[in-house]
């Protein structure tokens, strides 16, 4: 009797999310990720990717993608295609057993040690997202987005899920306490006034800055070259003039 009752009670306790999630998945995701989430030519398999990744892609509006393999530079219109929060929760409930194995959605609260958060940011994030979180080019046509729009849950999701070129930071690299301090620091960057006493140009990331360096060298070489040419008159021209004058005399 009890053996019969327990599954019945469990079934009653399961939120109505699941059938709705399945229907939403079929509508918005299956065409690219496959009805069984094992992937199609239009999208990768979602087996074992972890709920942190699903939450990141759905809450930022990166998914459902309008076009397969759309690159991040074009995803600025992503806000427009974001699903409603209730739909996102339903899809996550449906996908939970399918994506199990990867990082779960991290629990995050704003930590209080901002100095520690700043140090972690400088060590792990700054070289891609720049010191003030403006983002920048990271080479190979990839672009790290600015961090001025991501809510704290998205920051935490991104750190654990490591979307695309971004590395995945596990608990061993960044503990839960580290993540709280780091996330608080990133959120602080969104409201911080630009620091005083810095040059008026903003950091545009390592690749454009490197390009500016090369440009400076090219300009310098060009300058030295023209100056050197002007200050040393062509010798054979002078000689031929002298020769002409000698012949005339
Ligand atoms: C038009 C095709 C398309 C649709 C529709 C689509 N996706 Fe995707 N999805 C992709 C492609 C392509 C990628 C590969 C990465 C990228 O370009 O961002 C991807 C990547 C992902 C990832 C990251 C996988 C990883 O390795 O971490 C998740 C999670 C995801 N999609 C979930 C969804 C969900 C959930 C839906 C439905 C709400 C959805 N996608 C709808 C094409 C699509
Ligand atoms: C190797 C370069 C790289 C490093 C290091 C890196 N990221 Fe990223 N990050 C990226 C890229 C590329 C994306 C965009 C991924 C995508 O669109 O799928 C991204 C996306 C994000 C986003 C989503 C922003 C948004 O609004 O969509 C957040 C938040 C983020 N990163 C935070 C961090 C934090 C915090 C760290 C340090 C722990 C970090 N990243 C380290 C490259 C990097």
Task: Write the pLDDT tens digit of every residue in 129-152.
Answer: 999 999 988 887 788 999 998 999
Contact yes or no for 25/31 (Cβ under 8 A): no
Q: State which CATH number among 3.40.50.300, 3.10.450.50, 1.10.760.10, 3.20.20.330 fits the domain covering 15-99.
A: 1.10.760.10
- Among 114-123, 150-159, 203-212, which stretch is predicted with the lowest mean pLDDT? 203-212
Closest CA to 132 of 179, 182, 192: 192
Helix axes 51-59, 85-99, angle to 10 degrees: 160
Task: Write the pLDDT tens digit of every residue in 182-197.
Answer: 999 999 998 875 554 4
For residue 154, how far is its CA from the centre of ligand 1 (angstroms)?
16
CA 145 to each of CA 42, 73, 148, 177: distance values in angstroms, whole numbers, following the listed order: 24, 8, 9, 25
For residue 142, how far is its CA from the centre of ligand 1 (angstroms)?
18
Q: Report the percentage of the chain scoring pLDDT > 70.
A: 73
Positive or negative: CA dihedral 236, 238, 240, 243: negative
Q: State which CATH number among 1.20.1740.10, 3.50.50.60, 1.10.3720.10, 1.10.760.10 fits the domain covering 114-191.
A: 1.10.760.10
Task: Write the pLDDT tens digit of every residue in 101-130.
Answer: 999 999 999 999 999 999 999 999 999 999
Helix axes 17-28, 85-99, angle to 10 degrees: 90
Does ligand 1 have an atom closer than 6 angstroms to the CB of 52? no
Whose alpha carbon is nearest atom 36 of ligand 1? 29
Contact yes or no for 169/159 (Cβ under 8 A): yes
Task: Write the pLDDT tens digit of every residue in 158-173.
Answer: 999 999 999 999 999 9
Does ligand 1 have an atom closer than 6 angstroms to the CB of 50? no
Residue 135 falls in which region: left (phi positive, over 0), alpha (psi -120 to 50) or beta: left
In this prediction, residue 213 has a pLDDT band, given cuts at 50, 70 and 90, of confident
Q: Which ligand is nearest to the CA of 92?
A: 1
Q: Which ligand is nearest to the CA of 140?
A: 2
Single pTM value for the model = 0.78
């Amino acid at each position: 009797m009890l053996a019969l009752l327990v599954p019945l009670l469990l079934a009653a306790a399961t939120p109505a999310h699941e059938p709705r999630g399945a229907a939403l998945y079929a509508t918005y995701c299956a065409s690219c990720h496959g009805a069984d989430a094992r992937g199609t030519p239009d999208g990768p398999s979602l087996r074992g990717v972890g709920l942190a990744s699903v939450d990141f892609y759905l809450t930022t509006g990166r998914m459902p993608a309008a076009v397969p393999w759309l690159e991040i530079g074009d995803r600025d219109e992503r806000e427009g295609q974001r699903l409603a929060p209730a739909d996102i929760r339903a899809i996550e409930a449906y996908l939970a057993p399918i994506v199990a194995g990867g990082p779960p959605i991290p629990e995050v609260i704003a930590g209080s040690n901002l100095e520690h958060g700043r140090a972690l940011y400088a060590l792990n994030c700054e070289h891609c997202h720049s010191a003030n979180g403006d983002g920048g080019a990271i080479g190979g046509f990839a672009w790290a987005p600015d961090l001025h729009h991501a809510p704290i849950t998205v920051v935490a999701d991104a750190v654990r899920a490591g979307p695309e070129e971004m590395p995945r930071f596990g608990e061993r690299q960044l503990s839960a306490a580290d993540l709280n301090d780091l996330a608080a620091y990133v959120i602080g960057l969104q409201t911080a006034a630009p620091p005083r006493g810095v040059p008026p140009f903003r950091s545009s990331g390592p690749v454009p800055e490197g390009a500016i360096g090369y440009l400076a060298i090219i300009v310098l070489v060009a300058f030295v070259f023209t100056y050197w040419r002007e200050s040393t008159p062509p010798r054979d021209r002078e000689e031929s003039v002298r020769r002409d004058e000698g012949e005339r005399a």
